Amino acid sequence: MDGARAAARRCTEELARGELRGPLHGVPFGAKDIFYSAGLRTEAGSRVLAGFVPAYDATAVARLKAAGAILLGKLHTTEFATFDPAPTHNPWNLEHTPGGSSSGSAAAVGARMAAAALGSQTAGSTLRPASYCGVAALKPTYGRVSAYGVIPVAWTQDHVGFMARSVEDLALLLQVTAGHDPADPNSSTERVPDYTGALTRRRAPRLGVLHQGFLDRADAEVARVTNDALARLERSGASVEAVKLPAHFETVYAACWTTVLVEAAAVHADLYRRHADLYRPRIREMVELGTLVPGDLYLRALRVRGRVRREVLPLLERVDALVTPTTPTPAPAGLAATGDPVFQAPWTALGLPTVTVPCGHSGSGLPLGLQLIARPFAEASLLATAGWCEDVLGRAPAPAL
């Protein structure tokens, strides 16, 4: 916190002189504890990395700082951003999970401890906790934001994500972090459009609602709140139609988890050989299972991902966004699990951009979210659509802490 206070004083002095570092001058943010941060411990929620202090910032952290933002500190994550839970509680109800793996990021923004936070998503680790904690979140297209300096889970599915109190804030965060990074071979050279400007061109969108595998898999309460939200959007001018997924869509789930297991085992191979006794049960199981998957099965999983992506893209051309509940249930009670990523995993595996915005509350007062999915590199129109939905549905209030 001493560093954050010093940075805040510098920002105040610069502002008094009429100097602005960038569009996020003085804005406080937190970073999930898998993002390298120079001079601050980066331990990934694990005893394996206890005391590790990197010498440089992850690219996303560095770009936020360059835009004037102030890093408050590091936020809890599940161990190595997988499934062994963090000690974080849900700010809406301390007896419930905040989700994972970006547990601390969602809780910090939901509790108004930080204006924004960096998270990551390899299956559902940004949008799910954001929904549970009543905040907006964005997972951009794969490669849109550099993952350099972020401790990996699975290289071909890891995405940097953002959490904030509004869609406008998400657009600002993406604006200053998007773009090619020579240090990350997977970062895209696609042109970076004006995301913040796109929000001024909001219009009633065309929404494709996914019942198959999503609304029909949600519990009754989530389905009711989602349908109520869709009805409000339609009354306000949105075109809302049911759409069907391609026949082979369900195969993407197996492809997603096969890829994650194999790549996680490869990421941890050396550390696990030297420190297996320090790993917690869920990440230990992932690493050991991943070593048992034959190479040809991994390659088939990559081919399945590619085939499903090709089949889904024409559907995304017909609408501004596909729509699902963000989660199948409200945040589960207890801290032993982090919830089900089933509604995010396919879109993460396909590398597509997704947003969640709050859309209501459960009967017990827990926040629920609406997930929007768009075609690759369509973040500008996706954010405009999400901003329009947010205008109709409203933002979640602060929890009564």
Catalytic residue numbers?
Answer: 32, 101, 125
Reading the block at residue 381, the tokens are 């129109």
Residue from 93, 40, 136, 155 nearest 331 by CA: 93
C-alpha distances (whole Å) from 293 to each of 206, 254, 265, 271 are 41, 12, 10, 19
Residue from 24, 26, 20 nearest 60 by CA: 24
DSSP-derived secondary structure letter, 276:
G
C-alpha distances (whole Å) from 356 to each of 133, 155, 202, 234, 401 are 11, 23, 17, 18, 23
Reading the block at residue 20, the tokens are 């602005």
Reading the block at residue 292, the tokens are 């048992």
Instruction: Count the Cβ atoms, other than its own, within 10 Å of residue 293.
Output: 15
Residue from 6, 125, 142, 38 nearest 76 by CA: 125
Distance, in Å, from the CA atom of 382 to the CA atom of 388, rounded to the nearest integer, reads 10
Residue with structure tokens 């019942």?
211
Residue with structure tokens 């989602």?
226
DSSP string, 29-95: EEEETTB--TTS---TT-GGGTT---SS--HHHHHHHHTT-EEEEEE--SGGGSSSPPS--BTTBTT
Distance, in Å, from the CA atom of 244 to the CA atom of 195, rounded to the nearest integer, reads 29
C-alpha distances (whole Å) from 377 to each of 10, 382, 396 are 36, 9, 27
Q: What sign does the dihedral 274-278-279-284 (CA atoms) show?
A: positive
Instruction: For residue 28, give the 3-state DSSP assignment.
Output: strand
